[in-house]
Amino acid sequence: MHAPRRHAFTLIELLVVIAIIAILAAILFPVFAQARAAARKAVCMSNEKQISTSILMYFQDFDERTPRAVNNASASPHLNIPITPPVVGDNAFSTADATVGRQVGFLYPYLKNTQVWRCPQDPVTFNEKTFNTNGSLCPANATSYHLSLFLTGTTVDGVAETTSGDGTALAAVSRVAETILARDGDANDGTNIENNTAIGGALIGEQLYTRHSDHTQAIRHGGKGNYIMLDGHVKTLSPDAVSPMARDDDPAHPCPGCADQVNPNAQAFWNIVQ
């Protein structure tokens, strides 16, 4: 008796199966990537909502004034906070660390979770043991968000880029729900000390404070960014909606004598003081 014949796949059949799998992978992988990006955007918005809640609690404890500007010895030519003396180790949200002389961040009592200050879509690497080399006493790239320094002073000059740094009364802001409090931004350490080192990022607030900040907006979420508004709600906005300056007004390519081209669509968002 002959053994029963075993049917095997032919080479053509195998190639067809492989081709079908490749086609399905090509179709599904972008969908998976989009789903992952959407999930990270949702996590980022959740982070910002927790941050906004902590800041609203800060408002209630400090006579409905916005958080003060960090003033730990900033030497930046773009940020002048005339609050003296500077507070050593001053920061927004980090824990206290007596070994390096860092005091507790002014928002930390309201949000005792430093991980929410990082956007999961932020490509910058963060290592809590890697400190900035600029004297800020805080870990480099500890946060992915910028607080608006337009709101951190009773005296604000958006052209000279100065603030009194003592917080703005909410009653002084006419359109609270349309004024930006914080946003997706470059990675930074949670202070206002200027940092030009390789491990650091933008300053908390500085590049959001200056009117020339359209080029520093983070658009990690499908070409858009997440924003915290002054009334506490969080929304996703495109750069064209919120850039304080027109796109052709690029500080990296200055035009001496040219007037600033303010984006009229963004004035309400930025509460720009003219």
Instruction: Name the pLDDT band for 53 (thresholds 50, 70, 90).
Output: very high
- pTM of the predicted structure, to 2 decimals: 0.76
> Residue 143: in which H helix or E strand, if any?
strand 143-147
Residue 7 counted as domain residue: no
Neighbours of 103 (CB within 10 A): 18
Q: Determine the average pLDDT of the residues in 149-178.
A: 72
Residues in the chain: 274
Assigned token pair, 55:
């800041």
Question: What pLDDT, on the 0 to 100 scale, is given for residue 189?
Answer: 78
Write the pLDDT tens digit of every residue in 184-205: 887 777 776 655 443 433 444 4
Quote the domain boundaries for residue 163: 12-270
% residues pLDDT > 90 (the chain): 17
Q: Name which of 214, 79, 91 is nearest 153 in CA terms.
A: 79
Phi-psi region of 12 (alpha: psi -120 to 50; beta: other; left: phi over 0): alpha
Neighbours of 104 (CB within 10 A): 15
Residue 2 counted as domain residue: no
Residue 231 counted as domain residue: yes
Instruction: Name the pLDDT band for 176 (thresholds 50, 70, 90).
Output: confident
Write the pLDDT tens digit of every residue in 222-240: 888 898 988 899 999 887 7
Q: State the DSSP code for 236.
A: E
Domains: count for the chain: 1
